[in-house]
Structure 1
Amino acid sequence: MKYLFLLGCCCLSSAPALARDAAVDDEPGEQVILHHPPRDTYITVVATGQEEPLVRSGQSISVVARDEIEAVQGPDLTRVLERLPGVTTARSGGLGSQTSLFVRGANSQQLLVTVDGVRMADVAAPSGGFDLGTLLTGSIGKLELLRGSNSVAWGSDAMGGVLAVTTRVPGGLTGSLEYGAHDSLTAAASAGTGGDGYSLAVSGGYTRTDGISAYAAGTEPDGFRQWHGTVQGGAELTSGLWLRAVGRYADSTVDFDGYPAPSYSFADTSEYQTTRQGSGRIGLEYTGKGLKLAGGIALSDTRRAYFDPTYAATPNFETAGRSWRADLKGRADLSDEFVLDFGADSEWTRFSTTYDARQDARLSSGHVLLGYHGDGVHLTGGVRLDDHDRFGSHWTFGANGAVELAEGLRLRASFGEGFKAPTLYQLYGYGGNVALRPETSTAFDAGIELGDRGGYRHFAVTLFRRDSRNLIDYVSPGGYFNTARARAEGVEAELTGELTEGLRGYASYSYTRSVNRQTGKDLARRPRHAFSTGVDWTTPLADLKLGADLRVLSGSFDDAGNFTRLDGFALVTVRASLPVTEQVELFGRIENLGNKQYQTVAGYGTYGRSAYAGLRARW
């Protein structure tokens, strides 16, 4: 779709004069990045696993703060992520349904997702990936997305990138309530306190909706319900030594449609799935002169049950996956310019299903990264060794650099290798193969960037390519094998900034060509063109805020053989918010204003025009 390319180029090249920064505190005492942060305070952890100013990394990283999440509105995380370049999503139905996130064309399971530093992969799932449909925005304080392979710092699963989610740490009490289309209700609250030597924050939320039919031609709505809670705290045991702990629990139920008798074709059914996710970490952190150390133990547990009430009230299939992880990481300042990041970890995973006995695996790793940070020059390189008790050892290399050409203007480039260990299901489940090798990737990108996303002004253009090998597929009727090779290459462009005082805009465009190198076919559900743009205006009328977003995707294919075509589409959302008092704000939005009919997964329904309204408060 050539018009998309032209539209993206026009919008991204028309950079107007950008006004001064107008940063204000988002929330008294809340530890989130401001909407217009100074460049030297924009911090990320996805580059090296340690807190790092964004300008010191040569990798392609986007950071989204809490105030932008609130401006987008609603519990659906994909609406926030789709603002970023290189990101597309696919969902099998309404809110809460199976949701895949494709970063630069990589498979969804090749994206590592962490919440408060805890890895969130479902080790009992066939692909081992995390279902983004179970992660809602209510408790999120910040998002960081690294695009590109980065297994040196993060190990297995980081072939396509890393999504790091940080929960909110408010300095008081906050709450929000929203109601809208399809009898949808979302409530969220958070509270936090802290002082010399201690901190404590809790958050929770509840979401329910009657939903839409997962089967696009169906009439029976498929609903979703979830409640979730998080807690995080810390206590200073002695000078420089802290005890830290985080925890998260989510309980979800989602209806879906299946293939009922006698035709066994896709149709309305009364089937549903329950998911219980628990995760947490406890550890010690030490900060001394020129040295930081952190060590701890983390747990992630996911249990799913599938029900078909037409046959029985008990589950007809269940899965259970659990991982324990012990880790130690540190940073040593070798001199004013050189820094050494290092770490070691060991992970024990196990899974079982109704039809598969319990199986276990162990993966131990160690890595080191050496960084040079001089006057306007930043270079980092490192190596990682992973040892799996089934497929043996694997080395991973990576390097990146950034050079500041002028104030705020820098060239950056990165090279990274990625790998993903076979999942326990692929090794021991139905069709399992213990001879599988890990999936691997080699990726590089290069670009030029002005400023930072969310700052005074920001403009970035990046070229990228990733080659993947030993991709694991299920080959009927034999089972899982290393069969495929793939390549994803393209360009990303992004522009954000203040158009005039009180009026801020953004635009992002991505061209991504993702193909199976053995067949020459496009990878499924990977549109080549993706364009997002929008504006936010704070009016002179009682600080009323108005916003609008446009999301445009080109067509793609739903299957590996490229037989089923998914048409392109354009969606418009309008938003508004009005402060009633200093503590209370009303907000509302209309999604899919044009009531467009579209699909991101063939045969599965999507929302038409939908309106929502609510209020949020903070004390």
Structure 2
Amino acid sequence: MNYLKFGAAIIALFPGSAWAGEAANTEIVVTANGIEQPRDQVGQAITVIDRDQLDSSQTLAISDLLRTVPSVRVARNGSIGGVTSVFIRGGESSQTLVLIDGVRINDPSNPNAAFDFGSLLTGNIDRVEILRGPNSVIWGSQAIGGVVNVRIEEPTEGLAANLGAEYGYHNTAELRANVSGTSGKLSGSVGASYFRTDGISALAAGSERDGYRNFAANGKLKVAFNDSVNLDLRAYYTKGRVEFDDPFGATPDTFPETENRQFVGYVGLNANFADGRFRNRIAYTRTHLHRDGTEPNVPFSFNVNELKGKVDRFEYQGAFDIVDKVTLVFGIEHERTFASTFFPAGGGAAPDQANYRVTSEYGQLIVRPITGLTLTGGVRHDDYNIYGSQTTFGANFAYTPNAGRTVLRGTYAEGFRAPTLTESVLPFGNPALKAETAKSFDVGIEQNFLDDAVRATATYYHRKSDNQIAFSFTTFQSENIAKVLNEGLELELDVRPTQTLKISAGYNLVNATSRSNDGTFGNRLARRAKDSANASIDWKTPIGLAVAADVLLTGDSFDDLANTVRLNGYQIVTVRASYPVSDRFEVFGRIENLFDEKYQTVARYSTYGRNAYVGVRAKF
């Protein structure tokens, strides 16, 4: 790493923050327990990114924004749209559960059901909550590393519209629009976004550019039958086409493409009884994914494929305030999952198809015995028809003696990941597989000073994972043979010395190592740097011009579990600015990777050099 460049950037750009937000005692989160709660009553570590922060950062891809979240590591195969993995607190990408408006969108046709963040752009996203650490009591399978909960634009009380357009490096363009409003018993929001780029060569040794196209549409409709009962309809659709290079091709410039389509639907009925003390939600959700791979003039390539995944889910959740200081959250869920994979190069046989069913029950008690103290504990039971059952426990506390200025947190959490259809169903899977399991604890403190002008946070976590699924070259199938130890430290500092200046910095230690007895004991997990730090600056000048800068530092890592392929650390500096032409119009622009840093997050794959963008936003 070139620390002279970093030092020069800090001196030139200081002071830094895109993340100074509201005080902890005013922020509401939903990902911890599936219901709305003040953040100072939640024991888990949660980061919230709202629409103002999304606009301020000017980020196109959600994964690029997640790089600044404590203990989150991101690896992308080349250009925007390429396969993108997100690792939370050292967990596998398959152990990151992803939700859109509370609906699971992990891909069952993927061999380990990991979600590919390559297709998730900021578009009409309104808010992102990132819960760090296991939370399977509420969310079930895959919530081991953490949960990323994305919320699309919500209906507004009055008629409102927002538009955005951006253009920049290598013919990259984005357009987005959203309209929302309320009329009587109806409220709704509808929008769409389009993104395109010529991109960069996916493989570093290549020369031709690998582009990406993405169209996304979103809609929400709420019908309030009365003050206690309402109907909630949500839909999200995205279609993308990404070009990439075959790492096993004869040359680095090959021409495979993949078209990805995803539909997420939600139909829910909410009913409140007993003067709002008993809140009920019953819902049906559908996630449907379809991927088609092509490679011109290469008929027997494994890049030619058709993959389908479908998840139908029925769920009921209740939240009952037994007394003023005791709330019971409980629910029952039933899920049917289907996956189909077809590779003509595998012999032209019919597609491999499989499905499973799971029924789940959970209960969680939230107790506030004294002012400022919140105790939470719960249990979940999942019964799978293909491999058996899993019981999960969790408990946490949050204590603030001074109305949110100081918050002490502690969590014991368990998580699990059920074997996927590819991993557990014959002919290629192993029906004897067990679920991956993890046990974790963390402790932390958050302190607000000077009327919330300064906020400091420190969190330590420790997690052990057992029965992780890995391919065995002895049996030539998946086995529960991997064990992992993850521990780390998260430090954050946000300073707001004036109403026009925000400064933040953070340091994260992620020590993710193998504990398997297969020759890798003590090795660091692939693509998970041990050290990272970030700093940001936002200053609104007296003339209304907002100028800002971000610095991201990431230490060395390895591309493989054997720790033989090193990925050098790097530092990325971004500068950005925006100016409100009027109350309704704003122009903005940024330069990413200001010092043209050369680095890789995946061995052999390209990353962006210096690049620049300009755009305009409008609100009505």
Counterpart for residue 570 of structure 2: 569
Shift of 1:195: 3.9
User: CA, structure 1 residues 471+340, in 2 after alignment: closer, same or farther (shift >3 Å)?
Assistant: same
**AA partner of residue 318 (structure 1):** E
Shift of 1:268: 1.4
Counterpart for residue 118 of structure 1: 103
Counterpart for residue 151 of structure 2: 166
Counterpart for residue 357 of structure 2: 362
Match of 1:321 among 282, 285, 309: 309
Counterpart for residue 383 of structure 1: 379
| Conserved? CA contact 1:215–1:266, under 8 Å | no
Match of 1:371 among 366, 372, 388: 366
Shift of 1:265: 5.5
Counterpart for residue 414 of structure 1: 411
Match of 2:471 among 470, 474, 479: 474
Superposition map of 1:512-551 within 5 A: 512-518=510-516, 519-541=521-543, 543-551=544-552
Cα distance in 1 for residues equivalent to 2:20 and 2:271 = 30
| Conserved? CA contact 1:35–1:455, under 8 Å | no
**AA partner of residue 375 (structure 1):** T
CA offsets 1:127-174 (integer angstroms, 9 cap, x no match): 101111111001110110110011001111101111110011264010
CA RMSD of aligned residues (A): 2.4
Shift of 1:197: 2.4
User: CA, structure 1 residues 588+2, in 2 after alignment: closer, same or farther (shift >3 Å)?
Assistant: closer
User: CA, structure 1 residues 430+92, in 2 after alignment: closer, same or farther (shift >3 Å)?
Assistant: farther
Is 1:234 the counterpart of 2:226? The answer is no
| Conserved? CA contact 1:331–1:339, under 8 Å | yes
User: CA, structure 1 residues 497+397, in 2 after alignment: closer, same or farther (shift >3 Å)?
Assistant: same
Counterpart for residue 461 of structure 1: 458
Is 1:298 the counterpart of 2:314? The answer is no
Shift of 1:38: 5.1
Match of 2:206 among 218, 227, 231: 218
User: CA, structure 1 residues 59+259, in 2 after alignment: closer, same or farther (shift >3 Å)?
Assistant: closer
| Conserved? CA contact 1:35–1:68, under 8 Å | no
| Conserved? CA contact 1:148–1:160, under 8 Å | yes
Match of 1:94 among 64, 79, 92: 79
| Conserved? CA contact 1:93–1:213, under 8 Å | yes
Is 1:342 the counterpart of 2:330? The answer is yes
**AA partner of residue 510 (structure 2):** T
Superposition map of 1:16-415 within 5 A: 36-37=21-22, 39-169=24-154, 171=156, 172-259=160-247, 264=249, 267-288=252-273, 289=275, 290-312=277-299, 316-355=304-343, 356-373=351-368, 374-407=370-403, 408-415=405-412
| Conserved? CA contact 1:82–1:532, under 8 Å | no
Shift of 1:439: 0.5
Cα distance in 1 for residues equivalent to 2:452 and 2:314 = 37
Structure 1: gaps (5+ residues): 19-33
**AA partner of residue 362 (structure 1):** R
Cα distance in 2 for residues equivalent to 1:442 and 1:522 = 19
| Conserved? CA contact 2:155–2:187, under 8 Å | no
| Conserved? CA contact 2:20–2:496, under 8 Å | no
Cα distance in 2 for residues equivalent to 1:455 and 1:480 = 51
Cα distance in 2 for residues equivalent to 1:499 and 1:429 = 61
Question: 4+ runs of 1 displaced by more than 6 Å?
Answer: 1-4
CA offsets 1:205-261 (integer angstroms, 9 cap, x no match): 00000000001111010000000001011101233000001001100000110146x
Q: SS of the residue aligned with 2:490?
A: strand
CA offsets 1:75-97 (integer angstroms, 9 cap, x no match): 11122212211111000111010
Q: SS of the residue aligned with 1:182?
A: coil
Counterpart for residue 511 of structure 1: 509
Shift of 1:363: 1.1
User: CA, structure 1 residues 259+147, in 2 after alignment: closer, same or farther (shift >3 Å)?
Assistant: closer
Cα distance in 1 for residues equivalent to 2:263 and 2:426 = 23
| Conserved? CA contact 1:247–1:281, under 8 Å | yes
Cα distance in 1 for residues equivalent to 2:198 and 2:300 = 21
Identify which range, 435-444 or 406-415, moves more after superposition.
Answer: 406-415
Q: SS of the residue aligned with 1:173?
A: strand
Cα distance in 2 for residues equivalent to 1:434 and 1:203 = 44
Q: SS of the residue aligned with 1:445?
A: strand
| Conserved? CA contact 1:120–1:130, under 8 Å | yes
User: CA, structure 1 residues 551+430, in 2 after alignment: closer, same or farther (shift >3 Å)?
Assistant: farther
Shift of 1:52: 1.0
Identify which range, 169-178 or 270-279, moves more after superposition.
Answer: 169-178
User: CA, structure 1 residues 36+601, in 2 after alignment: closer, same or farther (shift >3 Å)?
Assistant: closer
Over the matched positions of the two proteins, sequence identity in percent amounts to 37
Cα distance in 1 for residues equivalent to 2:313 and 2:340 = 19
**AA partner of residue 358 (structure 1):** Q
Identify which range, 470-479 or 221-230, moves more after superposition.
Answer: 470-479
**AA partner of residue 300 (structure 1):** T
In the superposition, the TM-score normalised over structure 1's length comes to 0.92
Identify which range, 104-113 or 399-408, moves more after superposition.
Answer: 399-408
CA offsets 1:512-536 (integer angstroms, 9 cap, x no match): 1100112221100010001111100
| Conserved? CA contact 1:88–1:530, under 8 Å | no
Cα distance in 1 for residues equivalent to 2:23 and 2:155 = 21
User: CA, structure 1 residues 412+336, in 2 after alignment: closer, same or farther (shift >3 Å)?
Assistant: same
Cα distance in 1 for residues equivalent to 2:512 and 2:163 = 42
Cα distance in 2 for residues equivalent to 1:446 and 1:565 = 32
**AA partner of residue 406 (structure 1):** N
Is 1:612 the counterpart of 2:613? The answer is yes
Shift of 1:429: 6.4
In the superposition, the TM-score normalised over structure 2's length comes to 0.92
**AA partner of residue 524 (structure 1):** A
**AA partner of residue 411 (structure 1):** L
| Conserved? CA contact 2:41–2:399, under 8 Å | no
Counterpart for residue 595 of structure 2: 594
Shift of 1:392: 1.0
Cα distance in 2 for residues equivalent to 1:53 and 1:39 = 8
